[in-house]
Amino acid sequence: MRLVVVGNGMAGSRLVSEVRARDPRIDVTVLGAETCPPYNRVLLSNVLAGNTRPEQVRLLDPSWYGTHRVRAVFGSPVELIDRDTRTVLTADGRREPYDVLVLATGSEAVVPPIPGVERAIPFRTLGDCRRILAAAERSRRAVVIGGGLLGVEAARGLAGRGLPVTLLHLAGHLMERQLDVEAGEVLGETLAGLGVETRTGVAAEAVLEEGVRLAGGELVEGDLVVLACGVRPVTGLAADAGLEVRRGVVVDDELRTDDPAIFAIGECAEHDGTVYGLVAPAWEQAAVAAAVITGGKLLYRGSRLVTRLKATSVELAAMGETQLTEEHAEVVRFSHRARGTYRKLVIRDGRLVGAILLGESDAVGTLTQLFDRGGPVPGDRAGLLFPGLSAAPVADSPTLMPDAAKVCQCNNVTKGEIRACWEAGARDVPGIAAGTRATTGCGSCRDAVAGLVGWLCEQEGVPA
């Protein structure tokens, strides 16, 4: 079988590694538009903030491809899919025949059609990140356009480098897809204490040399302008090939398009009416597609989304249906704005269907497990929001966590898998990461994994 993968980002590189782990015989070629090896896009905000070096976000070392007999071509975007001859054509004239084709083309930054926008730098790729860092060295003030997840992370990262930052957002509050109004306001107040001025309900009209002009004529000064206006799936290749495309490339439960020889995964794929923009669904889809391609039986039934903000000194997790009100669900909330704390539970039919946790909280692990597994919510609602006040031990204690409890959301790694890896000889977090991939996504589970390793070592009297 000749497998060709178009796209070597987080979804494409994961699919290639999953296929090779299942079947060493398949002929695999991966074609990437970017000139560098695949990297963890989730951690680019850490690079921007200076907490992580660019080389530390690499997903696969270039030597991996030769060792695993995978042909990898970097800087070779695909321009055409010829479904009649089952061949793809690249911009540099390469023709690659396929028996199975996987589209992992990802998404691209939305660039608003306003005058002077070419002066701004999108925040999407590693190349963009390097351009922003170079510009920041010679800038006095920064403006970030877009107050979604990436915009907040970019603004916090630049502020952490000592630049005064103004964050502009069209909607009435920050991260409106994940947060309700009050949570968005509390987040804005938290950012203000970290050097980020937030302006919501404003529209950028033009990018000038001296900053951004708003609708109405006001000038927001800044010699560095960063765009974080959202992303859109890259679907042109699929559409030109005659595949069904709505918002994304339409796929079924096996991640096949309407051409059974072509699959689509990650941010370019639309499953059951949903396009997922987070890493965990992309990696879940890669595992399903790899299983199907190598002759296995596995179906994708959708993903339960947990969003984690990766910004220094800002703790935020949001999951599920956070916008529901008391008319449609039981809502339990606590707000202490002076301390930047906001916690909200959304419960329907005795199940947790949504939650927001802003500010430092030891409830994240328990609530994530409840949400992910769809289990019944305990009667002590206050104990869920404030585990330390409850007389009962918390569910995410290593002693009480069931082996099926998911510790790493990005890679779908359970406590049982971490225990098994530890029993096989891994005695630290890097060892667990190498054996299970836990902590290699957004990295927010690192403390939990370290805690489990420490607990296992303590239980067995083994030096950590």
- The rounded distance, in Å, linking the Cα atoms of 305 and 302 is 10
**Is 263 within the bounds of a domain?**
yes
User: For 20-24, 250-254, 419-423, which range has the lowest pLDDT when averaged over its residues?
Assistant: 419-423
**Is 164 within the bounds of a domain?**
yes
Same structural domain for residues 366 and 407? no
Beta carbons of 280 and 316 less than 8 angstroms apart = no
Per the structure block, which two tokens stand in for 403?
């082996």
The candidate with the shortest Cα–Cα distance to 12, out of 118, 104, 147, is: 104
Expressed as residue numbers, the domain containing 121 is 117-229
* Residue 359 confidence class, pLDDT cut points 50, 70, 90: very high
Same structural domain for residues 29 and 103? yes
Same structural domain for residues 146 and 239? no
Per the structure block, which two tokens stand in for 65?
């491809």
User: What is the structure's pLDDT at 295?
Assistant: 96
**Is 304 within the bounds of a domain?**
no
User: What is the structure's pLDDT at 392?
Assistant: 43
CATH number of the domain where residue 343 is located: 3.30.390.30
Same structural domain for residues 286 and 325? no
Q: Which of residues 210, 229, 248 is at a domain's end?
A: 229
Per the structure block, which two tokens stand in for 12?
């494409």
Give me the chain's average pLDDT, please: 91
Per-residue pLDDT reduced to its tens digit, 212-222: 999 999 999 99
Per-residue pLDDT reduced to its tens digit, 24-71: 999 999 999 999 999 999 889 889 988 889 888 988 888 999 999 999
**Whole-angstrom Cα Rg for the chain:** 23
CATH number of the domain where residue 87 is located: 3.50.50.60
Q: Which of residues 293, 325, 346 is at a domain's end?
A: 293
* Residue 443 confidence class, pLDDT cut points 50, 70, 90: confident
Per-residue pLDDT reduced to its tens digit, 83-102: 999 999 999 999 999 999 99
Per-residue pLDDT reduced to its tens digit, 259-310: 999 999 999 999 999 999 889 999 999 999 999 999 999 999 999 889 998 8
**Is 121 within the bounds of a domain?**
yes
Same structural domain for residues 255 and 181? no
Same structural domain for residues 410 and 435? yes
Same structural domain for residues 132 and 223? yes
Same structural domain for residues 408 and 432? yes
**Is 205 within the bounds of a domain?**
yes
**Is 243 within the bounds of a domain?**
yes
Task: Give the highest mean pLDDT range of 262-276, 392-406, 450-464.
Answer: 262-276
Tell me the CA distances in angstroms from 20 to 118, 241, 269, one per residue in order.
41, 27, 22
Task: Give the highest mean pLDDT range of 342-356, 367-381, 387-401.
Answer: 342-356
- The rounded distance, in Å, linking the Cα atoms of 233 and 270 is 9
Per-residue pLDDT for 388 more than 70?
Answer: no
Beta strand 95-97 with 87-90 is antiparallel
Tell me the residue ranges of DSSP E strands in 83-133: 87-90, 95-97, 100-103, 107-109, 121-122
User: What is the structure's pLDDT at 389?
Assistant: 58
Per-residue pLDDT reduced to its tens digit, 400-438: 567 777 788 788 888 888 887 877 778 888 888 888 888
Beta carbons of 301 and 353 less than 8 angstroms apart = no
Per-residue pLDDT for 180 more than 70?
Answer: yes
Per-residue pLDDT reduced to its tens digit, 312-330: 889 999 999 999 989 999 9
**Is 140 within the bounds of a domain?**
yes
Q: What is the largest CA-CA distance in the chain?
A: 68
Q: Which of residues 363, 380, 395 is at a domain's end?
A: 395
User: What is the structure's pLDDT at 32?
Assistant: 95
Same structural domain for residues 347 and 283? no
Domain count, the chain: 4
Helix axis angle for 415-423 and 429-436, nearest 10°, is: 110
Cα angle value 405/300/328 (rounded, 5°): 70
Which residue has 């909607």 as its token pair?
A: 171
CATH number of the domain where residue 442 is located: 1.10.10.1100
Same structural domain for residues 224 and 249? no
Same structural domain for residues 67 and 101? yes
Mean pLDDT to the nearest integer, 152-166: 95
**Is 309 within the bounds of a domain?**
no
Per-residue pLDDT reduced to its tens digit, 132-146: 999 999 999 999 999
Same structural domain for residues 97 and 236? yes
